[in-house]
Structure 1
Amino acid sequence: MRTKTILVLIALFLSLASCKYLHIDGYSGSTLIWESGANNYFNTESPSLLDLVSEIIITGETDGEQKVSLENMPWHSVTLREVVMDGDSAKFLGTFRYDGVALCDILSSVKIDKESKEDFYPPVDLYVEVWNDAGEFATFSWGEIIYSNDVYNIIIAKAATRVVPGKTGEKWEIPQSGKIVVGTDLFAERGISNPTKIVVKSLKGNFKVDRDPEKFYSEKLEIIDGNNIVADFSSIPVNLPKLDRRTIYYGHGMGYKGVRTFSGVRIDGLLRSLLPSTKEDLRTGLICIEAVDGYRASFSLSELINRVDGAEPLLMYGESGEKGRESFSVYADSDMFADRSVKGVNKITLY
């Protein structure tokens, strides 16, 4: 028995020693320091820990205010070529691998008490504001956090590693504080520092729910900025190039819907010239895509017009004989689930 205990202790010592002396990264399992001939270019130097609170407050449309500890949650990595808007141009801050806690993990155990649940139960109209103590906030739709094809692409970073170019050896300034990191954003305007609170909200408006409308389509699509109609369309402008997206269509509730091909135009091609896109707009902007039957889904402005991955939703017009797609409809290309692919669309509103 004593011999077996000694052998277990020796094995434990060797395991711990290997993490120290072989430089094994406990989160990704990769070598922390890149050496000549290695193939992991995201670990060119040791990570730097960032200052961050140990817990975050969740409030809003929830079952009471809650505090969620960030200490024992799994870490995920997001690599970012970090650029922010600088007037009419872009300012490059560096390329980093950020490691931290995913927003989807933080929100996964939070019980939602949605204000609109009596007449509209699906959570697709939810969104969150992530706040810091400086009074800044960034807006995220519930769908881009929970329904995404990659739910671990939005994190609160707890560590940062520079991805150093091999020839120039250029090293950029590492941030000191924890921050929001969004792997899909072109301009990192939602990357606020020191997040401390998440507020859960739902879309507000004069929605009229009719689950079996006589006419499940609209002859006109209105683009609205606040209370002002900035444009309306009876069809999709012919100057916008049409794309085909083939997908495995799958609903959160109804499951497999078949292999489908959706044809339409990137929604940013229509919206970019009609809606504002300042630094603040990209950080806080919220969009409601609404249908004639009262169905609606929230989208952050950034996930529609500020993407770096080319996965903007498609705006479609009369692409099939399916009910609700005789006129305007949307296919949410970046989502795992079909629930934000809205049919019978008649309004797109910037809040």
Structure 2
Amino acid sequence: MKRQFSHTLLLLVFVAAFAAQSCKTKPDANTGATSEYDSNGMSYYHRTEETKLKPGQLYVEGEVKNPGKVDYAKYGKREVLFKQSKPNQSGEVEFVGAYRYRGYSLFDLLNPFIIEKKNAEEFIPNTDLYIIVENDKGDRVAFSWAEIFLGHQMHQVIIATEQASIEPYKKEVSYPKGSVWKVVASTDLYSYRELENPTKITIKSFDKKHYPIDRKPEDPYSPTVNLVFDNELKATIGANVDQYPHLKYASIFYGMGMGDHGSPYFEGPMLRPMVEKFFEPDIQGWMRSGLAFVVGKDGFRNVFSVSELFNRVDQVEPILSIPPDRVKSGHFRLYHPAAFFADFSVRNLAEINFFHD
């Protein structure tokens, strides 16, 4: 009887120990965020100690009904992975380190704030919104609204409060660590949009130029696309685009309002070679805080960040798709396969206005 009791006691101790360890690895019930992993487990990304990054105060303002201080303490933390590197002035890529970051996603932090667009009477959808994140030194980075709330992958932009190296097993490395919390955009290829000690997030709609809304134009066809950079017309793209590389994408075309629009193919020239020379005087600046306002002849519009278009870790490229029905859809429509909703494929494309805020 004593032996049986001893075995039962040992089993209970084992179960309790296993349960305690399991509690460290289960996802947070409310957010799906992971709280902690065992460093001896299967994960390659959780084998090193975390360095804490000191958080600060964060405020949200702009086109919201309820501006004010963010109570981030009530949110769970999420994890992203990032290989930090950036081209230098000579074009060579300088590698800094590979990291796992843990912190608060902008999706979670901004979700409670109610949008109050200043142009809502003219244009209701949120597709023309963007976000400026600023730190205590006045440095800025820009994100589109879609990057945070309307993409295929949520919670990929965080304000990191913990940082851990992802280290190779055949070589000793000592990757530098930060000391204060920072913005990390894990969808970016290069780390242009890292920003230490963010203090303010401003939500805005595009207002650099007025584009009238005409939901039923007599002639919706737009034969050309203007490329504008900081209020200066730099180029006009016409029908002859044979000199540019072409791509073809399959799609599941799903709209925010009407849902399924079938599974059309989109084919056309890549946008990058049409515009990249205009970024050259300040590539880092454009990738860090540049935005692109995309508008059709009928006035329907989207905003993308420049990094969202051209600094992607998945290296998926936007195209100017040439629709089969050009009378209805114009000669070009912007198509980005990374966009979840069909609303971000502007037809009757008339202008792409690249700007800074």
Segments of 4+ moved more than 4 angstroms: 10-16
**Map of 2:295 onto structure 1:** 290
**Map of 2:30 onto structure 1:** none
Change in 2 beyond 3 A, CA 1:166/1:285: same
**Map of 1:222 onto structure 2:** 226
The letter of the residue matching 2:204 is K
**Map of 2:6 onto structure 1:** none
Please give the alpha-carbon distance, in whole angstroms, between the structure 2 residues aligned to 1:214 and 1:268. Answer: 32
The letter of the residue matching 1:33 is S
Residues matched between the structures, number: 336
Deviation, structure 1 residue 56: 2.1
Query: Is the Cα contact below 8 Å between 2:158 and 2:185 reproduced in 1?
Result: yes
Query: Is the Cα contact below 8 Å between 1:320 and 1:326 reproduced in 2?
Result: no
**Map of 1:203 onto structure 2:** 206
Tell me, yes or no, if structure 1 residue 33 matches structure 2 residue 39: yes
Please give the alpha-carbon distance, in whole angstroms, between the structure 1 residues aligned to 2:263 and 2:214. Answer: 29
Q: Where in structure 2 are the equivalents of 1:201-350 lying within 5 Å?
A: 201-204=204-207, 205-235=209-239, 237-276=241-280, 277-317=282-322, 319-321=323-325, 324-350=328-354
Q: Where in structure 2 are the equivalents of 1:10-159 lying within 5 Å?
A: 14=17, 17-18=20-21, 24=25, 27-28=33-34, 31-34=37-40, 38=42, 40-53=43-56, 55-88=57-90, 89-159=92-162
User: Residue 251 of structure 2 aligns to a residue in which SS?
Assistant: strand
5+ residue gaps, structure 1:
1-9
Please give the alpha-carbon distance, in whole angstroms, between the structure 1 residues aligned to 2:240 and 2:83. Answer: 33
TM-score by length of 2: 0.87
Please give the alpha-carbon distance, in whole angstroms, between the structure 1 residues aligned to 2:194 and 2:328. Answer: 37
User: Residue 157 of structure 1 aligns to a residue in which SS?
Assistant: strand
The letter of the residue matching 1:95 is A
Deviation, structure 1 residue 12: 11
TM-score by length of 1: 0.89
Please give the alpha-carbon distance, in whole angstroms, between the structure 2 residues aligned to 1:114 and 1:295. Answer: 16
Q: Deviations over 1:220-249 (max 9, x none)?
A: 111111221111111253232221211211
The letter of the residue matching 1:312 is E
Root-mean-square deviation over aligned CA pairs:
2.3
Higher helix share: 2
Deviation, structure 1 residue 85: 2.9
Q: Deviations over 1:2-28 (max 9, x none)?
A: xxxxxxxx99975774268xx647643
Query: Is the Cα contact below 8 Å between 1:293 and 1:344 reproduced in 2?
Result: yes
Please give the alpha-carbon distance, in whole angstroms, between the structure 2 residues aligned to 1:255 and 1:14. Answer: 49
Q: In structure 1, which of residues 179, 184, 187 is the aligned counterpart of residue 182 of structure 2?
A: 179
5+ residue gaps, structure 2:
1-12, 28-32
Query: Is the Cα contact below 8 Å between 1:217 and 1:328 reproduced in 2?
Result: no
Please give the alpha-carbon distance, in whole angstroms, between the structure 2 residues aligned to 1:137 and 1:83. Answer: 19
Query: Is the Cα contact below 8 Å between 2:291 and 2:305 reproduced in 1?
Result: yes
Change in 2 beyond 3 A, CA 1:323/1:249: farther
Matched-pair identity in %: 29
